[in-house]
Amino acid sequence: MRGGAATGVARAVELLDLHPAPADMRQLVIEGLSRTPKQLPAWFLYDAEGSRLFDLICQQPEYTLTATETSLLEQEASAIAAALGSGTLVEFGAGSARKVAPLLQALSQPAYVALDISADHLEPACVRLQQQFPKVPILGVCCDYSQLEQLPDHPLLSGTAHLGFFPGSSLGNFNPEAARALLRQFHKLLGPGSTLLIGIDQPKTRERLEAAYNDAAGVSAAFALNLLTRLNRDLAGSFEETAFRYQAVWKPEHSHIEMALVSQKQQQVKLAGQVWTFAEGETLITETSAKYSPEAFLELAASAGWRGEQRWSDPAGDLSLHLLVQAD
């Protein structure tokens, strides 16, 4: 029997809280603002308001990644399920867990484990999925998967193959060395004989990429500027939102889009107990998003112990779903 939605009473959702240590935001701010150029971790963007705005970004007509990947998963679910085989589907950074449904529908007797650092996102996502797939065993694990030594000791993760799932081209938010380290971490956590299905956004024209990250409705700008609101609130900052403007620029030499807040004047800002000077025109990088050709991504994956097994792409060649197997 496949894991499709079925009538009946849903199981009670099981949640496992591994109590991820809170990040030292103050120290990370000091490190980030001491760099040239200044840059903060991208996850700072995702407080409650930031997460809401990001969901809106995914609905903007210029930002096609989410719709393209969702459509590809729906169209190729049967082929992907056949290639994955049986086992427990483990999603890294599950968030709202909206992209996994086609796979749960297509896999034979699936089980699903969602890993995410935010319990606020994890619980409702798992409850919604359990209602949609009442016969599928679902476990939510609140953790920082980048710091785990091993997956938790749980029946859903014992005695079965682990099928890793990392959609959304989230790997692009890491610089190449950090991306390599994350792929190695997946290799370690999933264990011998496991597979990894990963979504990778591919290079496009400058015009398309810059429009995708600077939508006409201004949601991307609001998302970036909300970072200043969070820093003021959480670290007693004195940022003036109107003293910065948002920009998104394609950097072909790095094959990534760079999103930043640009200081509109020479100014000083109090933050994390220190005073920071911004020159007029100076940037504070909020995040980057790398785009990999299939060849470039497979080269990166190989350096982290993975080998490309299969690949699915949309007709325009905008995005790839790569199925990786462990090479060592």
Q: 29-84: per-residue pLDDT in tens?
A: 999 999 999 999 999 998 889 989 998 999 999 999 999 999 999 999 999 999 99
> SS3 of 153, please?
coil
Q: Give the whole-number percent of the chain exceeding pLDDT 70.
A: 97
Residue with tokens 């933050």, as numbered in its chain: 271
pLDDT recorded at residue 275: 98
* pLDDT tens column, 191-207: 998 999 999 999 999 99
**Under 8 Å between Cβ of 289 and 54:** no
Is 90 exceeded by the pLDDT of residue 131?
yes
pLDDT of residue 51: 87
**Residue 231 scores a pLDDT above 60:** yes
Task: Give the number of other Cβ atoms within 10 Å of residue 185's Cβ.
Answer: 16
* pLDDT reported for residue 1: 40
Q: Among 19, 52, 5, which residue's Cα sits nearest to residue 223?
A: 52
Residue 306 phi/psi, 5-degree rounding, is: -115, 150
Q: Which residues, 6 or more positions from 66, have their beta carbon under 8 angstroms from its beta carbon?
A: 58, 59, 168
Q: Percent of the chain having pLDDT more than 90?
A: 86
**130 in Cβ contact with 14 (< 8 Å):** no
- Tokens representing residue 112 in the block: 């699903």
Q: How far apart are CA 57 and CA 217, in angstroms?
A: 9
What confidence tier does 7 reach under pLDDT thresholds 50, 70, 90?
very low
Residue 185 confidence (pLDDT) above 80: yes
Which phi and psi angles does 29 have, rounded to 5°?
-65, -45
Structural domains in the chain plus CATH codes: 14-21+63-203+292-326 (3.40.50.150), 25-60+205-290 (no CATH)
Angle between helices 294-303 and 176-190 (to 10 degrees): 60
Query: Which residues lie closer than 8 Å to 74 by C-beta, 6 or more apart?
Result: 102
Output phi, psi for 317, to 5 deg.
70, 30
Mean pLDDT of the chain: 94
Q: What is the pLDDT of residues 89-102, one digit of tens each?
A: 999 999 888 899 99
Please report the pLDDT score of residue 10 as a whole number: 59
Q: Which residue has the tokens 């699903």?
A: 112
Residue 170 has a pLDDT of 94
Confidence of residue 3 (pLDDT cuts 50, 70, 90): low
Is 307:325 a contact under the CB 8 Å cutoff? yes
Tell me the mean pLDDT in the region 247-269: 97
